[in-house]
Amino acid sequence: MHRQLYVPPSCADCYSYATSTYRIIEDTVDWKTARNSCYNFGGKLVELETKEENEFIKDTLTYRNADATYYLGGYMFNANDGIRWITTPSQAMTFTDWAAGEPNNPITELCLGSYGPFKYQWIDLPCNWLKSYICEFQE
């Protein structure tokens, strides 16, 4: 079954870059709920695959004056492989933006987040923490 993209025309929390539209959800939920919510909207948890896309999201979050942590679409399927994008778990990430010392706990911190206090660089974190999240819709 193919999901249709639905982005409300009056979406106040939507931003476009290249061929994607992003919706920033400030409600806090666990990672699995965030992933399912994005899927139900017709998208996915954001996968920041290039430096330019990552900088766009970081700039957008900074502009919004948010200092939160946002779940991204990365997950540790296997501790030996590191965190991978959920849509391509067999491929290593070609771009990363890890904060200093991250990732630091492949046993209990299996999910990927963009961390406000570190200028939205990436951290690994437990999947059961309640965090905001970003959905990505591809055109």
CB-count exposure of residue 93 (10 Å: 0-12, 13-18, 19+):
middle
CA distance 139 to 107: 36
Whether residue 139 is predicted with pLDDT greater than 90 in this model: the reply is no
According to DSSP, residue 71 is labeled: E
Level-2 CATH architecture, domain 19-138: Roll (3.10)
* Structural domain spans, the chain: 19-138
Q: Is 28 left (phi over 0), alpha (psi -120 to 50) or beta?
A: beta
| Terminal-residue alpha carbon distance, the chain | 18
Alpha-carbon distance 45 to 79, whole Å?
21
Q: What is the pLDDT of residues 73-94, one digit of tens each?
A: 999 998 888 999 999 999 999 9
Tell me the pLDDT tens digit for each residue of 7-19: 445 577 799 999 9
Tell me how far the alpha carbon of residue 97 is from its chain's centroid.
Answer: 12
pLDDT value at position 64? 85
Q: pLDDT tens for residues 44-68?
A: 999 999 999 999 999 999 988 778 9
